[in-house]
Amino acid sequence: MIKYINVKSRTRTEFIDITEKVQEVIKETGVVSGICYLFVPHTTAAITINEGADPSVQRDIQTLFNRMVPFEGDYLHKEGNSSAHIKAAMTGISVNLLIDEGRLVLGTWQSVFFAEFDGPRHRRVAIKVASDRKMP
């Protein structure tokens, strides 16, 4: 079964820590050992894993993205959000995470971030949790 979590961005570009929301879904499934698949069904948003302890890391990433792919440019897409599409393509729309003892396997400083590149918006993240237990 696929579950969804809702994410609300407040600014044009924003990294939103969704680690605890994902962990809640895993807890609800009761899976102790397995894999958590995360998928962003949007073309101007993404998902990534990076440092969650220091918010300046997310700001630095956004600053670099905005330098590399500015909001305004010689883009052909007339909707005005080409930079968001490019940043989402650079970041990626899915990640797979291990689950052990009912918890996400993350490094000490790692968190799961929803990356908004065309906000503010209401978004969703699809989550599929699979157990690696063998059937009897």
Whether pTM > 0.75 for this model: the answer is yes
What pLDDT digit, counting tens, does each position of 74-122 carry? 999 989 999 999 999 999 999 999 999 999 999 999 999 999 999 999 9
Within-domain flag for 39: yes
Within-domain flag for 97: yes
Euclidean distance between CA atoms 41 and 30, whole angstroms: 25
Within-domain flag for 136: no
Output the domain CATH number for residue 69.
Answer: 2.60.120.460
Question: How many structural domains does the chain have?
Answer: 1
Domain housing 122: 2-131
Our measurement of the distance from residue 9's CA atom to the centroid of its chain's CA atoms, rounded to an integer in Å, reads 12
Euclidean distance between CA atoms 84 and 12, whole angstroms: 9
Please count the other Cβ atoms lying within 10 Å of the Cβ belonging to residue 63: 12
Pull the structure tokens for residue 38: 């995360």
Within-domain flag for 7: yes
Question: Which of 80, 104, 91 minimizes the C-alpha distance to 29?
Answer: 104
